[in-house]
Each structure stands twice: as structure tokens, then as C-alpha cells.
Amino acid sequence: MKRLMVTGGLGFIGSYFVDLALKRGHQVINVDKATYAARGDLDFHDRENYEHVRADICDLKHLPVGVDFIVNFAAESHVDNSILANQDFFHSNVRGVYNLLELVRAKDETDRPVFVHISTDEVYGTNQEGSYTELDRLNPSNPYSATKAAADQLILGWKHTYGLPVMIVRSCNNYGYGQYPEKLLAKTIDFLLNGKRMTIHGDGTYRREWLYAGDNCEAILLLLEKGHVGEIYNVSSNEEHSVIEAARMVAATLGLDPDESFAFIPNRPGQDLRYSVDCSKVRALGWAPKMTLATYLPEYVRLYKQRA
């Protein structure tokens, strides 16, 4: 049993992680300031070994005592928002990480938690062919990915200069029930169930890798156990679909005609054509994704309808 400080554990991926960590017997202190993206339907609030601290990671003045790991999910996470107003992205994604690093540094060397930072495949930028490894250079294309890349660089600098125990996890596009309906699949279900055509930026042919959030969290938990401190790990299903392909799969799952389900709007600036990451490092530790998009979509739609 480990004592974990999770940040952003009321959000989409963080909530899957908290649930899994509690089920595995870990103790969780969840620091989340509850932005618009926080989930209101979570059932772990009364569980033993769980505590929620409503706070901004930028405002924390000290870390809880005896924490083994900090797992930092807290972030502003939606690219479109970052293009319209980037201040909150700099605040949470860069300043927040800076504050957490400084709090770890302030601890006695013998008492420092490992700082596990949840980053993204978007930090590498677009990739026409092949898959980026953890050694590839960062080349972000929009304010969201730029703030995530900035945080990764801070972490590496703090590791080298101050010897902080850190780990960076860069995962691809996640899907699953509970995702705020601003992100593609959740928004598509929401629009189509409400009789609206889903809007697609550009022609939707840009490609992403799609990973079930539960599989991602299994990888992160495995990395706490078996990952090497100081390392970076990519996490991906390597299941690749264009955005329009994935959205058409949703329409088909809902029994709608995909040709009648979408409206195409101007592409967003900084749109990357393709993301792909090599995740042989985490797979070598024994992780493999269990879910595929086609398998999960009927369950996703069922859960969404049940809630509506």
C-alpha cells in the first residue's frame, strides 16, 4: 500500500486513476480545485483511504506528510480553449508544475516523493510517419501542448540540477465515459443524441491514437511499481484512426447515418496532422492495452444514455 497525492483526480483520467488506486489498496489524497471539467458523478468520496483537498496546485504551500508519489494530472486540457484564452493553461500546466517541483525540492532528500507527471503525445508535435520515441525532440504546435512541453522541460531541468526523483508519462488521446463533452468522442455522442450534427474541424483526416482511460491508468500504476525513476514513458494503444473515422464509428454505434451526422467547419490553427508514439518501453514492463474503440463504443453509448 502506497500513499499517493493525486492532483486533478476529479477530472476525466484522474478519476479513473483514483478509482483504480483505491481498489488496489492505495491511500489517495486528491488535490483538485474542481474546475468546470471536474466530474460530479464520482462514487469514491466516501471510500476509506480517500481524502479530497479542494485547492489549486499553484497555491499549495507544503506537501502532505509521508507521501510516496505525487501523480500530477491537474491541468487545463482542451486545445480549443487554449487557443481562445491561454492564461489558465500557463497557470495550471506550467506554474502549477513549477510549484509542485519546488515543494518536492523543499523536502529532505530522504523524504521526497517521486513526482510522476502526466504529459501528452502532443508535446512531440505532428508526425508524418513512424512513431516518436521518448528521446525525440519536443515540437509543440498549440498553446496547450506548448505548456505541457514547458512543464516536461522544467521537470528534466529540476531532475538534473536538484536530483529530484521524477517520472514523465506521455500518453496518447484518451477516451472513456466521464470525459467532459468538449472532447471529440464525448461531444459527438452528446450532439448526435440531441439531434444535432457534430462539427468537425477541417476535413477530419488528421490522425490520432486512441487509448481507453482505464488502460492508461493501468499503465501509470504499473509505472509506479516497476518504472525507473528519472525516465520518460510513452503510453499508447497504437490504435490509429482519423478524427472523422472515430466520429463516424460513434454515429454508426448510435444507429445513425454517418454521412448525415457531421458539419465541417474551418480547421483550427496549429492542427497537427498525426500523432504517434512508440511505447515499447512501457510494454517491456508487461503492460498492454485491453480495450479497443470498437469494443468500448457500445458501452460508452449505453452509459451516456443511462445518464441522460
* Count of residues engaged in binding ligand NAD, rule: CB under 6 A: 31
- Using alpha carbons, list the distances in angstroms from residue 210 to 95, 117, 185, 207, 276: 29, 20, 10, 10, 10
Q: Give residues 186-225 in contact with ligand NAD (rule: CB under 6 A).
A: none
If DSSP codes are grouped into helix, strand and coil, which group holds residue 255?
coil
Binding status of residue 12 toward ligand NAD by CB under 6 A: yes
Q: Which of 4, 5, 6, 7 binds ligand NAD (CB under 6 A)?
A: 7
> Which of the residues 19, 76, 121, 215 is marked catalytic?
121
Q: How far apart are CA 116 and CA 296, in angstroms?
A: 28
Where are the strands (E) in 32-189, listed by range? 50-53, 69-72, 114-120, 166-171, 173-175
- Using alpha carbons, list the distances in angstroms from residue 26 to 48, 256, 300: 10, 43, 27
Cell of 69: 508519489
- Strands 207-212, 240-242: pairing is antiparallel
Q: Give residues 100-119 in contact with ligand NAD (rule: CB under 6 A).
A: 118
**Shortest distance (Å) from residue 36 CB to ligand NAD:** 8
- The identity of residue 63, as a single letter, is L
> Which of the residues 19, 32, 122, 209 is marked catalytic?
122
Q: How far apart are CA 137 and CA 124, in angstroms?
A: 6
Is 144 an annotated catalytic residue? yes
Of 34 and 256, which CB lies nearer to ligand NAD in the complex structure? 34
Of 18 and 164, which CB lies nearer to ligand NAD in the complex structure? 18
- Binding mask 119-158 toward ligand NAD (x if CB under 6 A, else -) reads -x---------------------------x----------
Of 92 and 188, which CB lies nearer to ligand NAD in the complex structure? 92
21 phi/psi in degrees, rounded to 5: -65, -40
- For residue 233, what are the β-bridge partners? 169
> Which of the residues 16, 144, 296, 300 is marked catalytic?
144
Is 122 an annotated catalytic residue? yes
Site for ligand NAD, rule CB under 6 A: 7-8, 10-14, 31-35, 37-38, 56-58, 73-77, 92, 96, 118, 120, 148, 171, 173-174, 180
Active-site residues: which are they? 121-122, 144
